[in-house]
Amino acid sequence: MAAFEEFKGTLRNTWLEYVRNHRPWLEVYLKQRGFKTGDNGRRPDAGLILGVVTMAAPQLLDMLPTFFKLSQGNPDAIIDALDLNFDPFKELAKPVAQLPESSAPSEDKPVVESPHF
């Protein structure tokens, strides 16, 4: 289970790095199409998040069919299971010391480069 938790941390880092690099258009997108999060914020739709993290972590492609079966085809449930149901702008606004360990860049865990479309 520790490997899966580490994998989720990598996905989180990937997503946050993508948001950091693509902030201008994502801010506009969230004003029009954002989904409420548990932290009283907004996030993009699950399909966008899954697309971004899958490009950076192709091993997720092997897991997605199982996740979709288990979630009965609900991509929002997959986002919850992967701990990606949060407002990325709120996370990025936190000081590094407040970010969960899996989100804070460290010397032995480099941040995965985000895909550029």
pLDDT digit string, tens, across residues 7-63:
999 999 999 999 999 999 999 998 888 899 988 999 999 999 999 999 888 888 888
Q: Confidence band (pLDDT; 50, 70, 90) for 98?
A: low
Residue appearing with tokens 């950076």? 56
35 φ, ψ (degrees, to nearest 5): -110, 140
Mean pLDDT of 80-90: 95
Is the pLDDT confidence value at 83 over 90? yes
Alpha helices per DSSP H over 22-104: 23-33, 46-56, 59-70, 75-81, 88-93
For residue 95, the model assigns a pLDDT of: 85
Q: Confidence band (pLDDT; 50, 70, 90) for 108?
A: very low
pTM recorded for the entire structure = 0.77
